[in-house]
Amino acid sequence: MDNIVDFTKMPVTEVYGSNCFSNAVMKERLPKNIYKEILAVQNGEKELTLEVAEVVAAAMRDWAIEKGASHYTHWFHPLTGLTAEKHDSFIAPTGDGRVLMEFSGKELIKGEPDASSFPSGGLRATFEARGYTAWDVTSPAFLKQDLTGTTLCIPTAFISYYGQALDKKVPLLKSIDALSVQAIRILRALGNGTSKRVFTTVGPEQEYFLVDKDFYDRRPDLILTGRTVFGALPAKGQEMEDHYFGTIKERVAIFMRELNTELWKVGIPAKTQHNEVAPNQFEIAPVYANSSAAVDANQLVMETIKNVARRHDMEALLHEKPFAGVNGSGKHNNWSMATDDGINLLEPGENPESNARFLLFTAAVVEAVDRYALLLRSSVATSGNDHRLGANEAPPAIVSIFFGGPLTEILDNIAEGKSGGRSEAGTSIRIGVTSLPALPKDVSDRNRTSPFAFTGNKFEFRMVGSSQSIATPNTYLNVAVAQVLSEFADKLEMASGKNEVIQAIIKESYSKHRRVVFNGNGYSDEWVREAERRGLPNMRNAVDALSVLARSETISLFEAHKVFTKEESESRYHIYLEKYSKQINIEAGVTIDLARRYIFPAVTAFAGSLAGDAAALAAIGAVNVPQAKRTKKIAELSAELYDETAKLEAVLAESQGIEDAFAQAKSYFERVRPAMDGVRTRVDALEKLVAKKVWPFPGYEELLFIL
């Protein structure tokens, strides 16, 4: 233990990237020609050869061993939504009782984990076990270090024996390629001959709760489901608004310091941290990165949050709604498009050409969000998010875009054929035909009620759930935008007068799709009615939202851009439905178990003690009226709890027997969840009547206010 380095006491510049095999490290350790080859592969200009991989593997092995690594793993994203890894050692026996430390280019490029036990949605049978992992060169390798040792982790894609995607990374990479192809067509038509590739960037803001580990260990519902299935609100919740951006408690600050250090070591640029709205709720946000690396980084962020919390005798809760009645947790997905030579395509510019480009790409996003609103809604459809969306703490289930006044005015005036809009500085805005002055950098306010808000040079997709992999939302978003860009490109490539055509495309597109733009309060009932009047869809639950994935037009969209085959699309539809049902099934089982094995015994014992006290008083001719009423109320609630528990058990058994995946998930949503609420209502009422010292679980007061 004496040789463990305390990185929290080292300068950040020395810590940052120390456990990341980044491009900077490769530049130092690889021959110049090999490093150039890797950069070309990363940019999609060349395919990786085995000869290049051999050189990289040797350098990566030496670097990892120097830092104490004995094993390596292909680290990938199966359809569980988590990550997976199978560790192999570097050792190679020599035959004379010694070993060499070896790692070949072939081992770097390809691994072979068992594919039969991961969700495949029918793509693989149980007996079809072979699957392959393939090195993703766009995301850097890194080291995982703990008290058990050091492991080299190589980010990879995961495919079946027949090449089908069994993970979330392959579709993401394909969607980035699809968007790049169409965006480059647009740029070429606009006269850009230098940019070679467009990629998407993401910066996910991760929210989470921390609770004391002792309290967590005494809550089976938190251990098994990630959320509390019971829990009465304390006298104080978040209504004083005193936690948001408040002073960070010392215990939490120490945790955050170590968390930052662990993330910086693997090259994750954690930048911002603060107290969130609910008590014991927090947020961490990184600097933006290319989508492939950002997806890997966010999975590491979630894992690291939980690991570091345990070192400080706390547990991190990533569920979207671990506590009823207080703010839930999301993951704001800040998304943009950029070229390989540094142009942010959603950045307002300083000349007519760059602003015309900005408005054209912005109009494409508006059309994509309107046309494919249901697809985007399906990308965040989980059982956890069902507790959160539309609950005045997160965006509604209605997908809309926020622009703010100045940019909305500009786009509205273009759509209506007027001379332009007016910036905050009062400058007339025209596009293409006459001089277009620079748009203001902050062309909008911020709107925390909007599901899809423009925030200056990016869009903030606020519907993503805190426990989700961001791979799926970004894949769907990339494909939706790619489709619209392809249609814009068709028009531009056939046009002779580019300026007039650009203006016509923006005018036509925004005129048809500006119904999706809403700058008001997304939490209000008035917006729900207004959205219905506009014809915007409002899918309130995950099950209905997931049904979009089975539609022929959705399958055709993914096929057209070579992101999913028909079979891959259908597999995901079934996997996500089954995951929804399984999660509710577990929660319902926990609800029944806790009610019968914990709540009933505690309540019965307490009621018995009250009855004994009442009998003693009666023996001396005295009556405690409040106590008698309390005993009666407990008896009534106990009887109701017994009936509600039996009802839940019955509807759960019926739902378990349904074979069709959609019908089963629908039953879990429409029947099992309401039955769980019936049990919870009685338990929470009993918690308020039973003495705290005999209640079997730590309550919300301890979980939310003690750290």
Lookup: tokens for 319 = 């569920």
Asked if pLDDT for residue 150 goes beyond 50, the answer is yes
Q: What is the pLDDT of residues 82-124, one digit of tens each?
A: 999 999 899 877 777 776 778 899 999 998 887 778 888 877 7
- Flag whether pLDDT at 474 surpasses 60: yes
Residue 426 has a pLDDT of: 41
**Residue 420 confidence (pLDDT) above 70:** no
350-376 mean pLDDT: 92
Residue-level pLDDT at 421: 47
Q: Does pLDDT of 437 surpass 60?
A: no
Q: Is the pLDDT of residue 200 over 50?
A: yes
Share of the chain above pLDDT 90, in %: 70
Contacts of residue 207, Cβ cutoff 8 Å, sequence gap at least 6: 276, 281, 282, 283, 329, 330, 331, 466
What is the per-residue pLDDT across 222-279, written as a single tens digit (0 to 9) for each? 999 999 999 999 988 887 778 888 899 999 999 999 999 999 999 999 999 999 989 9
pLDDT band at 8 (very low <50, low <70, confident <90, very high): low
Q: Look at residue 425 and tell me whether its pLDDT is greater than 50.
A: no
Q: Is 435 a residue whose pLDDT tops 70?
A: no
Nearest to 459 by CA among 409, 390, 395: 395
Assess whether pLDDT exceeds 90 at residue 523: no
Q: Where are the alpha helices (DSSP H) in 203-351?
A: 213-217, 220-225, 250-265, 291-311
- What angle do the packed helices 169-189 and 471-493 form, to 10 degrees? 20
DSSP conformation class of 394: S
State residue 69's pLDDT score.
94
Q: Is the pLDDT of residue 324 over 50?
A: yes
More confident residue, 288 or 563: 563
Residue 441 has pLDDT above 70, yes or no: no
Which one is predicted more confidently, 620 or 579?
579
Give the pLDDT score at 162: 85
pLDDT band of 146, cuts 50, 70, 90: confident
684-688: long-range pairs with CB below 8 Å, 24+: 684/230, 684/231, 684/232, 685/232, 685/637, 686/599, 686/603, 686/634, 686/637, 686/638, 686/641, 687/230, 687/231, 687/232, 688/232
Q: What percent of the chain has pLDDT over 70?
A: 91
Q: Say what the pLDDT of residue 355 is.
A: 84
pLDDT confidence of residue 404:
84
Reported as a pLDDT band with limits 50, 70 and 90, residue 496 is confident
191 CB-near residues (< 8 Å, 6+ apart):
353, 498
pLDDT tens for 602-616 read: 999 988 888 776 665
Q: What is the 3-state secondary structure (H, E, C) of 269-294?
A: CEEEEEECCCCCEEEEEECCEEHHHH
Q: Which of the four pLDDT bands, split at 50, 70 and 90, describes residue 128?
A: low
Q: Which domains does the chain have, with CATH numbers?
A: 31-167 (3.10.20.70), 177-564 (3.30.590.10), 578-705 (1.20.120.1560)
* Residue 409 pLDDT grade (very low, low, confident, very high; cuts 50, 70, 90): confident
Lowest-pLDDT range of 317-321, 494-498, 566-570, 574-578: 494-498
Residue 428 pLDDT > 70 = no
- Contacts by 651-659, CB closer than 8 A, 24 or more apart: 651/675, 652/585, 652/588, 652/589, 652/592, 655/581, 655/585, 656/585
Amino acid at 76: F
| Residue 305: pLDDT over 50 | yes
Among 490, 564, 485, 459, CA closest to 175: 564
